[in-house]
C-alpha cells in the first residue's frame, strides 16, 4: 500500500519525513486530525526493524491521539513523532536538536513531549530549537511526571470498570495482574496497593519486578508467558502492544482489561469479541490519557497536585463510555470512538465561521 493510500485509510492530514545525515536522524512526524486544535503527540525513539514498521507506528499512534484528545475533552488534535534509530551508538544533543528544527518548521502544527525512549533531558535539547514542547514543570519547579499521570488515569479508569462489574468502585481485595512494571506500571502498583488490591506482576526486566516485590512482599510474580492466562479480576497491560491477539484471546481469565499500553488489542474486531465474552475492555486511548492533563487549555502549566486531581475526569469519561456501550449494545471501544467522532464532527461545523 502506498503512502497516500495509507494516509487515506487512516484519515491523516500530513506526514513529514525528516532526515539529517550528520546526526543520523531519521524521523517521521504524523499529523492525523487538527479539527479540535494543533496536534499533540509524544516523541518516540525506537529501533524499528524497518522503515515500514516505523511509518505504521506513527500512523496508528497519531490516530489514537486524535481519539484520546477528543474523548478527554481537550482542544488538541492527534499527532506523533517517531525517531527511527537504525544505528549503533548513542544519540546526542545534536541529534535531538536536529529533530527540534523540524518541529519548529511546523510552526505549532505538532507539540511534542517525552514518550518511549525519550525523557525530559532529550526534551531540553529539542526545546533549544523550538518552543513547541510541552512544559513539564510548574512555576514553582514542581515536576508533574507523565508516568504519574498516566498511572493515575489507568487507576481511575479501573475504578469505573469495577463499579460496572462489581457494583462498587473499591479495588480492595481484587486480584490485578500488571504486565510490565516499568515507569508507569510501578506507579500504578502504588495506586492499587493503597486500596489493598492483590498484585500479580510480570516484566522482562528482573530489576523492575524486584523493585515492586521489595516494596510489596505479597506480590505474586509470574513469567511473561503466564500473565495473560492468570486468573484475575483485572488484567492491566502496561508494556508494549499489541497484547491481546487472535492467538491468545482464548487464554484470558479476567473480567476487566485496563492498562497504560497503546494498541492493547491487535485488531479492533477483537474488541467486539471481548464484549461478547463478557470481558470489559477499557479502551486504551481513554484510560491512558493522563498525560493530556499535564496541561490546561493546551499549554497552561499545572502543578503536580492540580494535574493529578484533573486526571480523575477519566473516571467520568469511562462511565459515559460504558453507558453508551450498554445502551447501544456495542463494545466500549466502539462507544469511545463514537464519542470522539461525534465531538470532532460537531466542533468541526463551527470552524468554518470566520473570526
Quick check: helix, strand or coil at residue 298?
A: coil
Q: How far apart are CA 146 and CA 133, in angstroms?
A: 13
Which range, of 101-110, 239-248, 292-301, averages the lowest pLDDT? Answer: 292-301
Q: Strand pairing partners for 235?
A: 177, 257
Quick check: helix, strand or coil at residue 171?
A: coil
Residue 60 predicted with pLDDT over 50: yes
- What pLDDT does residue 294 have? 60
Helix axes 332-348, 313-328, angle to 10 degrees: 110
Tell me the pLDDT band of 136, cut-offs 50, 70 and 90: low
247-268 exposure pattern, b = at least 16 Cβ within 10 A, e = fewer: eebeebebbbbbbbbbbbbbee
Tell me the pLDDT band of 298, cut-offs 50, 70 and 90: very low
DSSP-derived secondary structure for 303-331: -HHHHHHHTTHHHHHHHHHHHHHHHHT--
pTM of the model: 0.89
| The three three-digit cell numbers of residue 336, written as one number | 469511545
| The three three-digit cell numbers of residue 220, written as one number | 505474586
Structural domains of the chain in order of their starting residue, each with its CATH number: 3-68+75-127 (3.40.50.10860), 146-342 (3.40.50.720)
Per cent of the chain over pLDDT 90 is 81
Active-site annotation holds for 273: no
Q: What is the pLDDT of residues 36-46, one digit of tens each?
A: 999 999 999 99
- What pLDDT does residue 307 have? 72
Quick check: helix, strand or coil at residue 349?
A: coil
Q: What is the pLDDT of residues 278-287, one digit of tens each?
A: 999 999 999 9
User: In the 3-class helix/strand/coil scheme, how is 50-79 assigned residue by residue?
Assistant: CHHHHHHHHHHHHHHHHHHHHHCCCCCEEE
Q: What is the pLDDT of residues 246-278, one digit of tens each?
A: 999 999 999 999 999 988 999 989 999 999 999
Contact 132, 119 (CB under 8 A): no
Question: Catalytic: which of 9, 24, 26, 80?
Answer: 80
DSSP-derived secondary structure for 243-261: -B-TTTGGG---SEE--S-
Cβ-Cβ contacts under 8 Å for 214 (sequence gap 6 or more) = none
Which range, of 236-240, 246-250, 291-295, 331-335, averages the lowest pLDDT? Answer: 291-295
Residue 219 predicted with pLDDT over 60: yes
Contact 28, 72 (CB under 8 A): no
Residue 300 predicted with pLDDT over 90: no
- What pLDDT does residue 295 have? 54
| The three three-digit cell numbers of residue 201, written as one number | 506482576
- What pLDDT does residue 220 have? 97
Amino acid at each position: 500500500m502506498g503512502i497516500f493510500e495509507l494516509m487515506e485509510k487512516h484519515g491523516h492530514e500530513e506526514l513529514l519525513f525528516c532526515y539529517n545525515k550528520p546526526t543520523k536522524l531519521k524521523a517521521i512526524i504524523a499529523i492525523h486530525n487538527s479539527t479540535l486544535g494543533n496536534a499533540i503527540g509524544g516523541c518516540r525513539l525506537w529501533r524499528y526493524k524497518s522503515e515500514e514498521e516505523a511509518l505504521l507506528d506513527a500512523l496508528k499512534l497519531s490516530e489514537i491521539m486524535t481519539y484520546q484528545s477528543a474523548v478527554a475533552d481537550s482542544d488538541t488534535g492527534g499527532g506523533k513523532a517517531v525517531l527511527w534509530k537504525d544505528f549503533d551508538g548513542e544519540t546526542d544533543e545534536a541529534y535531538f536538536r536536529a529533530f527540534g528544527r523540524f518541529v519548529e518548521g511546523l510552526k505549532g502544527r505538532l507539540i511534542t513531549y517525552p514518550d518511549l525512549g525519550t525523557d525530559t533531558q532529550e526534551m531540553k535539547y529539542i526545546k533549544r530549537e523550538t518552543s513547541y514542547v510541552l512544559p513539564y514543570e510548574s512555576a514553582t519547579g514542581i515536576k508533574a511526571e507523565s508516568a504519574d499521570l498516566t498511572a493515575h488515569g489507568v487507576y481511575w479508569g479501573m475504578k469505573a470498570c469495577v463499579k460496572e462489574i462489581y457494583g462498587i468502585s473499591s479495588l480492595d481485595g481484587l486480584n490485578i495482574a500488571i504486565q510490565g512494571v516499568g515507569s508507569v506500571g510501578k506507579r500504578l502498583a502504588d495506586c492499587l496497593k493503597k486500596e489493598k488490591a492483590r498484585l500479580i506482576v510480570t516484566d522482562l526486566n528482573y530489576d523492575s519486578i524486584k523493585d515492586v516485590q521489595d516494596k510489596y512482599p505479597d506480590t505474586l510474580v509470574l513469567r511473561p508467558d503466564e500473565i495473560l492466562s492468570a486468573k484475575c479480576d483485572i488484567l492491566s497491560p502496561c508494556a508494549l502492544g499489541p497484547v491481546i491477539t487472535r492467538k491468545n484471546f482464548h487464554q484470558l481469565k479476567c473480567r476487566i482489561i485496563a492498562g497504560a499500553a497503546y494498541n492493547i488489542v491487535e485488531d479492533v474486531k477483537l474488541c467486539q469479541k471481548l464484549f461478547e465474552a463478557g470481558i470489559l475492555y477499557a479502551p486504551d486511548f481513554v484510560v491512558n490519557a493522563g498525560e493530556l492533563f499535564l496541561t490546561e487549555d493546551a499549554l497552561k502549566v499545572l502543578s503536580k497536585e492540580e494535574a493529578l486531581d484533573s486526571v480523575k475526569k477519566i473516571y467520568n469519561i469511562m462511565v459515559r463510555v460504558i453507558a453508551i456501550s450498554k445502551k447501544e449494545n456495542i463494545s466500549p471501544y466502539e462507544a469511545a470512538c463514537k464519542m470522539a467522532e461525534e465531538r470532532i464532527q460537531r466542533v468541526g461545523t463551527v470552524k468554518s465561521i470566520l473570526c
